[in-house]
Amino acid sequence: MTSATATSDSTGSDSTASATAASASARRTELAAFLRSRRARISPEDVGLPPGPRRRTSGLRREELAQLAGVGVTWYTWLEQGRPINASVQVLDAVARTLRLDSIERAHLFRLAEVPGVTPPGECDRPLPDAVQDVLDALPYPACVVTDRFDLLAWNTAYARIFPRVTSAPADERNTLVYLFTAPACCTPLADHQAYCTGMVGQLRVAYAKHVGDPAWAHFIRRLEAESPMFATAWAAHDVAQPTGFSKALRYPGLGEFTTTTTSFAVHAVPGARMTVYTPADPASRITMERLSAGEAADAHYPCWPTHSPERALAL
């Protein structure tokens, strides 16, 4: 091996090691913040402890949590400070039980702690197969495919009629989370805009555990925090959630409100991607959605259209 080659290999190894160390440090920081947020929501009364007259913390103290979980105070303090220490499955289970974490929160904790056998294998970028678009086009109801960061990969015509702003956006801006948090609430089809957005942030927090230290993800989150106070507040809460079927009230100009049930399916061809289908939740909503799919009221707009139309926004 020549000296030049040896130097190149050494530089590459140093760079990889630095990136790995930075990722691990970011993950530990995220773990520490998550633990603090969960500890703060457990009151002494919740676990049978006296509230005490001079408490400076809103929830349990570190030493109280460590005692209840049966772990060392110093060890837990270091864990919550983001220090590079190892944690076993048994110890993390004890902490999770004491913090009263649900199954989603527990899985989030284990991913951040990088416990062997818990963190899923790494993801990679893959193109969406053409057959997925064929499935979307064959569906009679609105449907789309998004990544775990809510980047919009594909959609059908019915979906585009409900969410025209995001489907017509430039490819690098086609993200449903960015759209919902930055577009005026009056322009969105969501009847309960804030509640739905908060749930999406919980899903993003779970996905972020697999990408802590990734510069692209960090930039994405910092951008949303800067552009949306509502997102910043929801993100700081450290709440976690999984994509699941639930009822969602939507509205469409000219047709009024209707209720859908959203159901998500994993798209295994692209790790982290899922297909979401909006089906009518009741007979009246079914009729409205059929009218929507048929193209009725295609030229209708919300009352705020003269102010918030995409054409006006581009002209400013």
Each residue's pLDDT tens digit, 28-55? 999 999 999 999 999 888 888 877 666 6
> What would you measure as the largest C-alpha separation in the chain, in angstroms?
76
Distance CA 165, CA 187 (A): 9
Residues contacting 285, CB < 8 A, separation 6+: 258, 259, 260
Two structure tokens written together for 301? 């707009």
Please tell me the distance from the alpha carbon of residue 308 to that of residue 140, in angstroms, as a whole number. Answer: 30
> At 101, phi and psi to the nearest 5?
-75, 140
Residue 120: phi and psi, rounded to 5, are: -70, 160
Beta bridge partners of 143: 277
Q: Do 262 and 245 form a contact (C-beta atoms < 8 A)?
A: yes
Place of tokens 């995409």: 310
CA–CA–CA angle 207, 214, 93 (5° rounding): 45
Token pair 């697999």: residue: 210
Is this model's pTM higher than 0.95 or not? no
The predicted pLDDT at position 313 comes to: 40
- As a whole number of angstroms, the distance between CA 12 and CA 237 comes to 38
Query: Do the Cβ atoms of 73 and 66 come closer than 8 Å?
Result: yes
Contact 44, 33 (CB under 8 A): no
Cα separation, 26 vs 286, in Å, equals 47
Which residue segments constitute the domains of the chain, with CATH numbers given? Answer: 3-113 (1.10.260.40), 130-315 (3.30.450.180)
Q: Distances from the Cα of 244 to the Cαs of 125, 212, 267, 270, in angstroms? A: 24, 23, 15, 19
pLDDT score recorded for residue 52: 66
Positions of the chain with pLDDT under 70: 1-17, 19, 52-57, 116-126, 309-316
Instruction: Determine the Cα–Cα distance for residues 90 and 272; give it in Å rounded to an integer.
Output: 28
pLDDT at 223: 93
